[in-house]
Amino acid sequence: MKTVNHWIGGKAVEGASGNWGPVTDPATGAVTTQVALASAEEVGAAVAAAKEAYRTWGASSLAQRTAILFRYRALLDARRDDIAALITAEHGKVHSDALGEVARGLEIVELACSITTQLKGELSTQVSSRVDVAAIRQPLGVVAGITPFNFPAMVPMWMFPLAVACGNTFVLKPSEKDPSAANLLAELAAEAGLPDGVLNVVHGDKVAVDALLAHPDVTAVSFVGSTPIAKYIHTAASANGKRVQALGGAKNHMLVLPDADLDAAADAAVSAAYGSAGERCMAISAVVAVGAIGDELVEKIRERAEKIKIGPGDDPASEMGPLITKAHRDKVASYVTGAAAQGADVVLDGTGFTVDGYEDGHWIGLSLLDKVAVDSDAYRDEIFGPVLCVLRAETYEDGVALINASPFGNGTAIFTRDGGAARRFQLEVQAGMVGVNVPIPVPVGYHSFGGWKDSLFGDHHIYGNDGVHFYTRGKVVTSRWPDPSEAPAGVDLGFPRHD
């Protein structure tokens, strides 16, 4: 059986804790791989390698860093298919979707290639007589990243390219459910010339995470995952004096106004709800139909959803793959099974679905629940599967109030032809990312990604300007250079003024 080991100090390091975790091919249900689960000592070795590398990397020139990043970008570009194949084998998503994930991760590598522009700093000359003030940003040191299963390549790429471009060294703890893509990303970084120890990967579970949170040499933590763990990471890392950004779960709403193009809205709802089997933090999981359009919209969604082809991710005919684990599949199914008792109309029930020849895979079909109650489990919880809830609202105001009552605030979208209503929605809705006739408004690399409320703990969004800010700290240098002809100013015990 294949094993996945750590990547520390520029080379593969065999797991020594004696603990291994199973990695499953979600399409077959077979355990294909064992992943090393790090002990606190092994995490300590990765942090030590990163700390040693920081001594030179932290002082490296921007030209050195960007030369490596440009080579890295080219290698990643050439190996897109290989990265995507690893994602499909362990996550289950279809190959085209995995390629999309790699492309969106590459965006951040491209952003990192432009770090020269972003770290330019600011200078004010002659703020006082012969006094200049310069604001510069410097790296933090060793930074840790902890990532979820649903984007095993893209989410790590949201973090480490920018962190190392800013001069930090990095320890990545990927999801133990689909760990292989992270190792390939690290190997390619080494091939691009990234010095040993600048990017390290330790695999593991809570033991490894807690060791990172407690380690005194880890200066900052970037986390992406579910809300309860994000809250825990934010609290624990903050208590240990670390800078932390912790992105959590979501329940993303799509508000459809009566004037919307209902065919376009139904296309968008099906793509955004069922893509990647709903295992996206930006998936649309609740459609709010405003006015009298509900029945027609539900019918259009049903027609489209019924045609989606579900199968193994490496079959080019498949549009949707299986779920990550059997336990997750069963949990998702329980929301559909319990929906009718909590008042929903079950328009599509995907719980009995399987794929011939792959009966042990983690399959579930598409489910569509209509007239879902706001106090039902299917609405309240992040299901993270191919289950779309439809709710009804009488007016635009009722719809926005419903969305704003959600504890989550990651992404949201409005579908309408009315520019004035769309503009109001942008200003009134409580979410970090808003789409106007765009169902999955994931910001491009040079803007930042992040939610509000229980979808993000901390005050920095990830990548873009916020990413550069998160991975650096500011310093302001005030300099006085007397004119060579000037006599010394003499002693003055007064507080410095700007004269």
Residue 410, interface with ligand NAD (CB under 6 A)?
yes
CB of 280 to ligand NAD, least distance (A): 7
Residue selected from 83, 115, 224, 429 as contacting ligand NAD according to rule CB under 6 A: 224
225 binds ligand NAD (CB under 6 A): yes
Residue with tokens 């007589």: 129
Give the residue, chosen from 455, 460, 463, 470, that forms a contact with ligand NAD under the rule CB under 6 A. 455
Between CA 474 and CA 149 the distance in angstroms is: 33
Q: 211 near 202, Cβ under 8 Å?
A: no
Q: What angle do CA 358, 361, 363 make, to 5 degrees?
A: 105
In the region spanning residues 229 to 258, those forming contacts with ligand NAD, defined by CB under 6 A, are 229, 247-250
Of the listed 113, 166, 281, 389, which one is catalytic? 281
Minimum CB separation of residue 437 from ligand NAD in Å reads 22
Q: In angstroms, rounded to a whole number, what is the distance separating the alpha carbons of residues 166 and 368?
A: 45
Residues 6+ apart with CB under 8 A from 65: 115, 164, 165, 167
- Would you state the structure tokens that stand for residue 463, as one six-digit string? 């990548």
* Tokens found for residue 312: 């193994």
SS3 category, 264: helix
Nearest to 369 by CA among 354, 350, 355: 350
Q: What type of residue is 431? A: A
Smallest CA-to-CA distance from 90 within 210, 188, 174, 6 is with 174
Contacts of 377 (CB under 8 A, 6+ apart): 335, 338, 342
DSSP H helices, 198-325, are 206-214, 227-239, 262-274, 294-305
317-336: which residues touch ligand NAD (CB under 6 A)?
Answer: none
Residue 205 contacts ligand NAD per CB under 6 A: yes
Active site residue 389: no
Identify which range of 82-90, 144-152, 366-374, 385-393 contacts ligand NAD by CB under 6 A: 144-152
User: 65 or 243, CB closer to ligand NAD?
Assistant: 243
Q: What beta strand segments (E) does 307-405 contain?
A: 345-348, 367-370, 387-393
Which positions from 149 through 178 interact with ligand NAD, judged by CB under 6 A? 149-151, 155, 173, 175-176
- List the one residue from 37, 119, 146, 171 that touches ligand NAD (CB under 6 A): 146
Radius of gyration over every alpha carbon of the chain, rounded to an integer in angstroms = 25
The least distance separating ligand NAD from the CB of residue 328, rounded to whole angstroms, comes to 8
Smallest distance, ligand NAD to C-beta of residue 149, A: 4
Least separation in angstroms between residue 227's CB and ligand NAD is 6
Task: For ligand NAD, give the closer residue by CB, 84 or 250.
Answer: 250
280 vs 392 by CB, closer to ligand NAD: 280
- Crossing angle of the two packed helices 154-165 and 180-191, in degrees rounded to 10: 30
The three-class DSSP label of residue 25 is coil
Query: For ligand NAD, how many residues bind (rule: CB under 6 A)?
Result: 27
Closest distance to ligand NAD from the beta carbon of 478 (Å)? 39
In the region spanning residues 259 to 318, those forming contacts with ligand NAD, defined by CB under 6 A, are: 281
Q: Is 206 in the site for ligand NAD (CB under 6 A)?
A: yes
Distance CA 398, CA 412 (A): 15
DSSP letter, residue 355 = -
Q: Count CA within 13 A, CB hemisphere, residue 357.
A: 2
Binding flag, residue 226, ligand NAD (CB under 6 A)? yes
Q: How far is the CB of 241 from ligand NAD (least distance, A)?
A: 18
Tell me whether residue 294 or residue 322 sits nearer to ligand NAD (CB atom). Answer: 322
- Using Cβ positions, the residue closest to ligand NAD within the complex turns out to be 225
Q: Quick one: 150 or 367, whose CB is closer to ligand NAD?
A: 150
- Chain contacts with ligand NAD (rule: CB under 6 A): 146-151, 155, 173, 175-176, 205-206, 209, 224-226, 229, 247-250, 281, 382, 384, 410, 451, 455
Catalytic residue list: 281
